[in-house]
Structure 1
């Protein structure tokens, strides 16, 4: 019953959106992956074959239970063209795509699968190797009916209890027309996708979004681009020009499951809308990535965190005629902004603000506005509203710091399977409590000041301190554990941990041992850069809380010493 501002010409569903753009751009290149090129029509045909196979393949064990509209299909894979085909196949059927980080260790991955309760799990070979020993158990505990493995025809298929993507998709062709003619009649506010993010317990939460939320992104991006062009005295351009002789592209250096930091999933939809090439990489290596630029692809845009942009500038891309660079995650230091302007003097620089729960960006700015206020993260998009709240439910005065609340059509529907967590962040009148601290100036620009929760922001990724600390506490002999952030120009912060050891374990627990344990139980981005085994006990306040501000100083000095700066 809440009233929200929406884009009136937005497609009603991901299916309708995909069918529109593939008809519009047809034989233009859609995906660039290493030496492989796929057109919009080729990805459409692959998606139709996949959808038809998933819906009607008689010998496929899933089809003892038909895939229904609203069923969840999980994709856990590194980047590849087949990923896009599987993603769009889900939406042709009206299924919910669940995008799972392939770099998660086994335990968090199992947790996510238990939350998602998916019907089908699609894996790349590396993830199939990880899952195969427990495939039968997962079927019993998570509700998975079948597995599909992305594979090529040059290698032997060796995964028991799993089916080959290539075989399943090649065995069905006759039912393809039915996919186009049988509309699942999905509505804008129906479930569309699930993404995962870290919660206060440290384990990922399943963020459920609607079709409207996903499809608001390209319209917001077009608005920002048009506003920026008008501010520079140029004509607005809302869509990709069909008359352009050279088709442009966007580099997506991150795994396509990511919605935060905003780059991959939402940028994928936005650039699909504009008819741009998506330049994807299996893993991010700036030297390897450089090879896919000229003469193969005319890149227009790069959207990523500061560290990736720096790597590109340092490895020969400086001076490349990009139209725009979009920074995601934390705001960048003014000195770094100036170095980017020097490396790419003709490029429009953008900063966007959002998070997984907001289906990526809810605000941002670019061009002259950004250059004047690089410490800010811009203004809200027309569909979104913002409040600064303090002391619970009291709205702060202009310029005063408080918690940022946002509202709009791109906000998540809730944490799937966790109504308690959902109720904690949603207000009764439809505002989402971000947990970010910030303020608004007289012109409506938003400035982020920090986090209410104990989180380290490293390279655009939010590392929940409690999560890492709980992993360290699980090691026998650890008495106290604390995670702190130490400043870093490129990554914003680096995660550093400190521990104290029980007397009977002194001398037996080393930093090297703890780092190995952390690497076993945490995703790569959450592993601390160092773990200090601290002498004595941590200093605490009168309520018993660890004084992390003092530990942060200890960690920063130790990091500087290790880097040879002291």
Structure 2
């Protein structure tokens, strides 16, 4: 049996290959046959370069359907796809190319000058361009090749993609995902999220990340579902497209931006059956307001570059948790079928229900390790094969998983553990507060203390001293931030996650 992920996706294409697979926001229609033929031509081009099986293809391009075709071509030809965030600059690209040693680099035409210089210097022989307007040397060269291509035979544990994690501490690490990791996860989610014939996905996420590239695209392709393709997120356009679609996946900021649009109503969202949120924590206020406005309950889930998806709030009844069909705000639901999840303390002891500790996971979706980092890989797995996620959380009495933060965000103040998410929850409930971030900064007496950084809702005034005073009546003294700052915005990465490392750097000299 061929475990090549593309073979499984291709087998799920609908019988009518002339039907629309992807409809773009600039009025283009791509059929299933277009995906099959164009990915075959690109695969033949890659094969013509006579690069070894398992060679890396590094890709830093703007979002386009052609970029998806290149991803499919890389899979079907048995190479390893390496998506790179479009925000990365030269020092970062130099590191990734030096570390991954790709045989092929594909970049935007506007970056060709500096990217090609880095690539050639690192020994990469082949550099192509691909732009989001269907131009570039990759397409020009691929046009000369046959549109028939035999999908390469792969084993389940053959490498399919390397995803560089965002590297908030030290150098980014390349998480190695196999064909089996990604296919098992896509099949599990197809069932768990109730994908059905006729589903249509609105795709408004970037495609250099697990969420947009794997969860969304694999989901639609494995179900033979049409995608409504937006080159970038536009709240008005997403809302306008809802009557033609049934599924939407987004990061929390996208939901916040749609809630600011008067056109978001129950009637407008009535054809939709599923709204999924992930990649960053969803505020309870957003969860509740979305339900009030649309009558729909957002399904929050949890995953990471190293594991694809790990847990999910229920779409429907889950036999493992009788009677628990509720999608609960502030939780990321249950471990997915096939995923084993546990919470342990620093000494490696299992913690009882409701106790906060390090989340560890095991399952067919969990990556094989970090690219060329055997020591780091060994460090991140337990003796019995569980991956230490670096997330801190608990499992409540009903089996729902609650994430309280990253272990590196944990603040140890005067010997006491302070979990930022707990304090942020209290601050976010205060009048006028839109969002907050609690960070730990060095302190001569306590070792480390909390500092709250807060953004106000539009038109609201928030008093920093009043925030601290209000917390004093609610929380133990060691949890109270020593300072609070009200700012215009919080620094975020492209997936909407607050970059606490930048805040820590900014405020580290306070005391």
In structure 2, do the counterparts of structure 1 residues 337 and 370 end up closer, same or farther at CA, with 3 Å as the change threshold?
Answer: farther
In structure 2, do the counterparts of structure 1 residues 325 and 363 end up closer, same or farther at CA, with 3 Å as the change threshold?
Answer: closer
Secondary structure of 1:450's counterpart equals strand
In structure 2, do the counterparts of structure 1 residues 69 and 455 end up closer, same or farther at CA, with 3 Å as the change threshold?
Answer: farther
Could you tell me how far 1:308 is from its partner in structure 2? Answer: 0.3
Aligned to 2:66: 82
Could you tell me how far 1:547 is from its partner in structure 2? Answer: 2.6
In structure 2, do the counterparts of structure 1 residues 209 and 560 end up closer, same or farther at CA, with 3 Å as the change threshold?
Answer: closer
Secondary structure of 2:399's counterpart equals coil
Contact 2:439 2:451 in 1 (8 A): no
Secondary structure of 1:44's counterpart equals helix
Aligned to 1:557: 485
Contact 1:401 1:439 in 2 (8 A): yes
In structure 2, do the counterparts of structure 1 residues 25 and 341 end up closer, same or farther at CA, with 3 Å as the change threshold?
Answer: farther
Aligned to 1:506: none
Could you tell me how far 1:199 is from its partner in structure 2? Answer: 3.0
Could you tell me how far 1:123 is from its partner in structure 2? Answer: 1.7
Aligned to 2:126: 146
In structure 2, do the counterparts of structure 1 residues 551 and 447 end up closer, same or farther at CA, with 3 Å as the change threshold?
Answer: closer
The reply on whether 1:38 has 2:30 as its aligned counterpart is yes
Secondary structure of 1:17's counterpart equals helix
In structure 2, do the counterparts of structure 1 residues 166 and 200 end up closer, same or farther at CA, with 3 Å as the change threshold?
Answer: closer
**What is the rounded CA distance, in whole Å, between the counterparts of 1:435 and 1:84 in structure 2?**
31
Q: Describe the superposition over 1:155-210 as per-residue Cα deviations: whole angstroms up to 9, x where unpaired.
A: 7x7xxxxxx1221011222xx43x22xx4320111101111212353442211101
**Aligned residue pairs: how many?**
439
Among 3, 11, 17, the alignment partner of 1:20 is: 11
Could you tell me how far 1:225 is from its partner in structure 2? Answer: 2.7
**What is the rounded CA distance, in whole Å, between the counterparts of 1:288 and 1:497 in structure 2?**
39
Contact 1:383 1:409 in 2 (8 A): yes
Contact 1:120 1:147 in 2 (8 A): yes
Aligned to 2:472: none
Q: Describe the superposition over 1:503-550 as per-residue Cα deviations: whole angstroms up to 9, x where unpaired.
A: xxxxxxxxxxxxxxxxxxxxxxxxxxxxxxxxxxx63346xx443447
| Structure 1 unaligned residues grouped into runs of 5+ | 1-9, 57-62, 158-163, 227-238, 242-246, 457-464, 466-483, 499-537
Higher relative CO (Cα under 8 Å, sequence separation at least 6) belongs to 1
* Larger displacement relative to structure 2 (447-456 or 354-363): 447-456
Aligned to 2:469: none
The reply on whether 1:93 has 2:85 as its aligned counterpart is no
Q: Describe the superposition over 1:38-63 as per-residue Cα deviations: whole angstroms up to 9, x where unpaired.
A: 0111111110111112222xxxxxx3
Backbone CA RMSD of aligned residues: 3.3
Aligned to 2:303: 354
**What is the rounded CA distance, in whole Å, between the counterparts of 1:424 and 1:343 in structure 2?**
46
The reply on whether 1:547 has 2:449 as its aligned counterpart is yes
Where do residues 10-409 of structure 1 align in structure 2 (5 Å cutoff)?
12-22=3-13, 24=15, 26-34=17-25, 35-56=27-48, 63=49, 66-125=50-109, 129-133=110-114, 135-141=116-122, 143-151=123-131, 164-173=137-146, 176-177=147-148, 179-180=149-150, 183-199=151-167, 201-226=169-194, 240-241=196-197, 247-259=198-210, 262-290=211-239, 293=241, 298-315=244-261, 316-319=263-266, 320-321=269-270, 322-345=272-295, 347-366=296-315, 369=324, 371=326, 373-409=328-364
**What is the rounded CA distance, in whole Å, between the counterparts of 1:152 and 1:396 in structure 2?**
49
Contact 1:386 1:406 in 2 (8 A): yes
Q: TM-score, normalised by structure 2?
A: 0.77
Aligned to 2:496: none
Could you tell me how far 1:111 is from its partner in structure 2? Answer: 1.6
**What is the rounded CA distance, in whole Å, between the counterparts of 2:335 and 2:445 in structure 1?**
39
Q: TM-score, normalised by structure 1?
A: 0.70
**What is the rounded CA distance, in whole Å, between the counterparts of 2:175 and 2:221 in structure 1?**
23
Secondary structure of 1:406's counterpart equals strand
Where do residues 487-526 of structure 1 align in structure 2 (5 Å cutoff)?
493=436
In structure 2, do the counterparts of structure 1 residues 317 and 27 end up closer, same or farther at CA, with 3 Å as the change threshold?
Answer: farther
Q: Describe the superposition over 1:277-319 as per-residue Cα deviations: whole angstroms up to 9, x where unpaired.
A: 222322223235456x26xx71111111221012223332332
